Amino acid sequence: MRNAAALVMILAAIPLFGASFQAGVAKTDITPPPGLPLYGYTERTQLSTGTLDPLYARVVVLQVGDKRLALVTLDLGRVFGQPSLTRLRERLTRSSGISFLFITASHTHSGPNILDNYPSNRTPAWETAALDKIARAVSEACEHLTDARLGTGYGRAYIGYNRRRVFPDGSVTMFWQNPDKIPTEPVDPTVSVLRIDTAAGQPLAILVNYACHPVVLGPNDLKYSADYVGVMTRTIEASFGESGGSPLCLFLQGGDGDINPYYADTSQAEDAMKNRDWTGEELGREAARVARAIKTLPPAEASLQFSEDSMTFPVRWNAQRFRRGMIATYGPSVYEDHAELLDSDNPPTALSVPVISLLLNKSIAFAGLPGEPFVDFQIDWRKRCPVRDAFFVGYANAYVDYLPTIQAATQGGYGAGDSNTYLAVGAGERMIDQALMRVYEMLGRLVDMPEDLKK
């Protein structure tokens, strides 16, 4: 990843009109065995002790003509590292004819720890097994492809708040819990829902896009859990099951980099299960209400367009000083989690990351960023996107920790001015601009010939 070219574009931008729009779904349990390090909380040093609720990979395969896209959502803290994803892509191309992989994680802090690169290049057994299960699930979804139609809808849910308290003088303090539901800004309560039906109108998949950290369960909880996201998906699927449908619910985490649930980091003694269930049910009920009201329609002209741009950004910090500070502050064991970005023998001066753009039927757009974007990026994307239905997805196809806005970076605070940011200030803004340009190109509104030279 670190040696990638400044800009490499994989683009399937020519719509295949006249072809049908098809979809297939599948789900697989990727819960690892107990005894593994857990993800997300630096202060949590104990290993996992078991499973509170299963961790799943959920798959939707979309096809138009000979273009086939696999959208995979993971109940994990982040997506797998690039070596694992490269192997998965190659396998999916061979076994299932997948043209493009769009993979994202919910960011639960109750999953197994994941690294970009492992010592001696030895991928953990649980991760290898999970990748194998995902490949088989994609194959299963391909086997059940059927003509499909789409519809979108929007609601509002209030389950979280902005955990950065910015004062008039520009100073910042972190606001880690908010059980009194004190209003903070900015937040985005928008619940974006994409419903995929069969041609006969049977619900096939419900995609829910929302921005909020899945951190109701705190560092003292040592069992695997999808956190509130698992409750949300079960709430939606149960709601449709009552009416005879059985859609698969997928969660697409949005710009949650500065958004916490009201009941964040709670322990069992603080009613963690009750708080987790309240959070998931609040979001799930609203998403189910929106999904049930959606009227899906077959596309007038089906098209499936996607791109992955590899964008290169300078590293924000001096690598040697960063390494010394990391070891002095947290110790060598924590530094190992960051070693893939700051190799002491040959520290990189720049990092290359993927930016995803997806356009369905010329009317539904997705932007996928490779880290934890602040919520302002989600708001900005929806405001500036040239189509009405604009979904914003974090943790997509790679992971580089926090993506703060320029303003937040000047203010500092967790995720904006600390060791959890790697890319140079302004990287997030450039990623949004890139995704916007790709969507305009897919719509035919940016062309490669000057106007005055057209014949």
**Closest residue by Cα to residue 378 from 277, 291, 252:** 252
Residue 12 confidence class, pLDDT cut points 50, 70, 90? very low
State yes or no: pLDDT of 354 exceeds 90.
yes
| Confidence (pLDDT) at 336 | 59
396 three-state secondary structure: strand
Question: pLDDT for 78-90, tens place per residue?
Answer: 999 999 999 999 9
Residue 425: its pLDDT value, please?
A: 97
- Residue 85: DSSP 8-state: H
Instruction: Please compute the mean of the pLDDT values over residues 66-92 and round it to a whole number.
Output: 97
Give the pLDDT score at 321: 79
Dump pLDDT digits (tens) for 208-262.
999 999 999 999 999 999 999 999 999 999 999 865 568 999 999 999 999 999 9
Q: What does the pLDDT average to over 400-422? A: 94
Q: Which two tokens stand for residue 101?
A: 């992989």
Percentage of the chain lying above the pLDDT 70 cut: 92
Take residue 453 and report the two structure tokens written for it: 């030279």
What percent of the chain has pLDDT above 90?
A: 80
Residues 298-349: pLDDT tens digits? 999 999 999 999 999 999 988 777 777 777 777 766 655 666 566 656 778 8
- Nearest CA to 347 out of 2, 116, 1 is that of 2
- What DSSP letter does each residue of 92-112 carry, written as one string? HHHHH--SEEEEEE---SSSB
Whole-prediction pTM: 0.93
Task: Tell me how far apart the alpha carbons of residues 240 and 366 are, in angstroms, rounded to a whole number.
Answer: 25
Domain ranges of the chain: 20-300
Confidence band for 4, pLDDT divided at 50, 70 and 90: very low
What per-residue string of b and e applies to 137-157 under the rule 16 or more CB within 10 Å gives b? bbbbbbeebeebbbbbbebeb
Q: How far apart are CA 48 and CA 51, in angstroms?
A: 8
Report pLDDT digits (tens) over 134-161.
999 999 999 999 999 999 999 999 999 9
